Amino acid sequence: MAVFGSWFGREVDQDHVYSINGFWTVLLFAVCSVGSFALRYITTPISCWCPAQFTSSMISYTEKSCFLKDMYHNNSISDNYDDEIPSVPSFHLWIPLILFFQALAFKVPNITWNSCKHLLTLNMEETVESLKSVQLTSPENRQAIFSDAARVFGSLLRRNRFFLALLYLFVKLLLCINLIAQFMFLTTYFRQYLAIRVGSYADFDVDSIIKPLLVKDIYCHFQIHFLQNTQIFSVQCTLQITEIYEKMFIFLWYWVFLLAIITILNLVLWAGFLFLPFLRDGRIAAHVNASKGARPNEPAVTRFISSFLGIDGVFVLSMISRNSSELVAADLTQHLYQVFQEKEREWQNQRNLYTGETEGGAVVTGATGTIAALPIRTLPPCAENPEKAPTM
């Protein structure tokens, strides 16, 4: 069930747009694929006008034989059967497979994200999942867990600065590319069923280069061998299943069109939130300012975001806020800010140790545990340290 949920369920490291693309749209196309295959057996997919002398078994054979063909004709046969007859293809037999590959194309970005995110040191899924349960613990345990999580999280951010966020944006870009390709495919091959006329007003004949995947009214030619005679028949048929396929692809066209607009806007917003400081810093600063005590200055918050959190830190905090709660994200941000202040104080002590001057002969202990002794020239000239004679 865990594997099934990771492939087809919404995970805690995804936003809603990502979930619509990777789960609900895949489910929609999969249902359409299975439904289009089942329609062959629960409906009458084709209806043919047969000669009066045909028995019921001959009519059944004619309809089934004509339905399984993939090449039809626009007119009846001529007097000479050997003459070349114009034919048109129909892909009604391949519609379930086409829909299956469309569903698989929507799943490829999700597979890419689930495969590559584990290569990085920071496991964002486990981080978000573990912090979701913190809200149910006592306040003492809550603060202890947040303190430990902030220190572990801060150490991991030193190795991951922007790779996780860039991977997520790359997956978002794959979603947009897939949607644009799906939209172009549906527009090209199912344009005749839509209320659009692209290129018709620009002196460009689109219909001359577009061949529809489905046909409706056709002529089916077949031969029947009876004893040593071969009799040729040409019956007019209507692919009734095409009517259902038309309505299905019209719905899918509008679904992909609206989803493409939403996904492209979502990609732009995520990129702006992660890379533009005026969109990124405000939310983190609000979480830091919500803590008790003195209000931190803006330069300190800016250093906290740029030099400590990085793009990956902002990304993970945003995912925690979206999938857990704003309170959990604010608490973790405040503890991360405390860790940042400790690191800054340690760095300042080290800087004073190696560049500053000591006062009054004091011995300064650095953050690394080393002791900075005063140079010999600073000692008074009369300060001697006579050796004590050993006692017997």
* Cα 218 off chain centre by: 42
Encode pLDDT of 134-162 as tens digits. Answer: 766 777 777 787 788 788 777 777 666 77
Per-residue pLDDT, averaged over 29-57, amounts to: 91
Q: Please report which confidence band the pLDDT of residue 221 belongs to, taking 50, 70 and 90 as the band edges.
A: confident
pLDDT at 389 over 60: no
Q: Find the angle CA(18)-CA(21)-CA(22) to the nearest 5 degrees.
A: 80
Question: CB burial class (10 A; 0-12, 13-18, 19+) of residue 157?
Answer: buried
Amino acid 390: pLDDT: 47
Q: Find the angle CA(223)-CA(227)-CA(229) to the nearest 5 degrees.
A: 50
- CA-CA-CA-CA torsion sign (178, 181, 185, 187): positive
Encode pLDDT of 322-353 as tens digits. Answer: 877 778 888 888 888 888 888 878 777 777 77
Give the integer Cα–Cα distance in Å for 326 and 205. 55
pLDDT at 292 over 70: no
Question: CB burial class (10 A; 0-12, 13-18, 19+) of residue 237?
Answer: buried
Choose between 8 and 42: higher pLDDT: 42
Q: pTM of the full predicted structure?
A: 0.75
Encode pLDDT of 60-118 as tens digits. Answer: 989 998 998 888 877 665 544 444 566 778 888 999 999 999 999 999 998 998 888 77
- Residue 176 C-beta-side C-alpha neighbours within 13 Å: 14
Phi and psi angles of residue 73, each rounded to the nearest 5 degrees, phi first: -125, 155
Take residue 53 and report the two structure tokens written for it.
């002398």
The full set of domain ranges for the chain reads 1-107+195-274
Comparing CA positions, the residue from 294, 297, 269 lying closest to residue 285 is 297
Comparing CA positions, the residue from 90, 85, 78 lying closest to residue 237 is 90
Check: CB of residue 88 under 8 Å from CB of residue 218: yes
Q: CA distances (Å), 374 to each of 265, 358, 383, 384, in order? A: 62, 8, 14, 15
pLDDT at 163 over 90: no
Report the amino acid identity of residue 203. D
Scanning the structure block, which residue is given the tokens 């309505």?
A: 247
